Amino acid sequence: MKDSGRIFSFTRGMKKVLKERFPEWCSDFTQRQNSLILTDDFDSLLGSAIEKHVKGNDINYFYNFNKLYVADRSDDKKALGIDLALHKGKSWCNHVIRIKENDYVNPQTANINALLKVHSGNYTKKYAMSTSLTMWSFYGLPLPETKEGKMLLLCVDSSYLGHYREAFRDVHNEYLKLLGFEELIDLLNETTEFDYEFLQGKYKTKAKIQLNKDGYLQTNLPLADLQGFFDFPIELPTMQFTLRNQFKEGKGNTFQTQSKDKLGENVVSFALTGKKYFKYTYIA
């Protein structure tokens, strides 16, 4: 597919057996039909940059778990969450969002763990890489040209980590094969966990994104340095944000709450934070 001078490949990237499970909206290349919800980390910012590069969608919201901020209140485009486990509405996500296998799952979420029915009972079979890597694969984008660029992509959300855990390596490799990234398996085999930890420190990939007291986004991520590895802009929006919604926070464990459906209809976001625990937001 060619659009506005950009070329996206459907011959490389995600294997058909996985790709065909994704919601239909993911394959709709109508330009600028959604406004993006950015969260507070590099995975969300990189995913937002991918979405803008591919479909022209811009960030208009900022979500920091219990608050949702907006820049342009007159924007009536449907929101699309990036690295956000929304209970309703479109989102790209990588979280485990089921307690039990048959829990309700948002039908509009583009989330490998949701699509493959990962839950607390088979938690060690989860997709444990970044939302950005899912999007990169789905859209068939070429991997960064340099070795360090590829390694940096694996640093996002510590996507490299599963390869260096013997009990999880086979699962991790199977997901990389499904994504069409066998090349990254070879790279992981010739590098070490420390190599990625060094890059994470060098490029501050775990730095958070925050709103300052005047409503503008700021971060310690070295965006100018990171930009050198990617073929599209990695940048924060410059608009002023104001509070739109505030949500209640909840948490629990999977012993006492054995189904997400027990939490009711007012859930905004939900994710397991481990095999036994979860966090969520809701409208009181």
User: Which two three-digit tokens encode residue 36?
Assistant: 């993006």
Q: Give me the count of residues in the chain.
A: 284
State which residues of the chain have pLDDT below 50.
1-7, 9
pLDDT, tens only, 117-158: 999 999 999 999 999 999 999 999 999 999 999 999 999 999
* Average pLDDT score over the chain: 95
pLDDT, residue 112, reads: 98
Instruction: Quote the CA–CA distance of 129 and 155 in Å, as a whole number.
Output: 9
Q: How many CB atoms lie within 10 A of CB 213?
A: 5
Cα 230 to Cα 54, 190, 227, distances in angstroms: 13, 22, 6
> Could you state, in order of their start, the residue ranges of all structural domains in the chain?
2-243, 247-282
Question: pTM for the whole thing?
Answer: 0.94
pLDDT, residue 7, reads: 45
pLDDT, residue 11, reads: 55
pLDDT, residue 5, reads: 41
pLDDT, residue 116, reads: 97
H or E stretch including 67? strand 67-70
Instruction: Quote the CA–CA distance of 175 and 128 in Å, as a whole number.
Output: 9
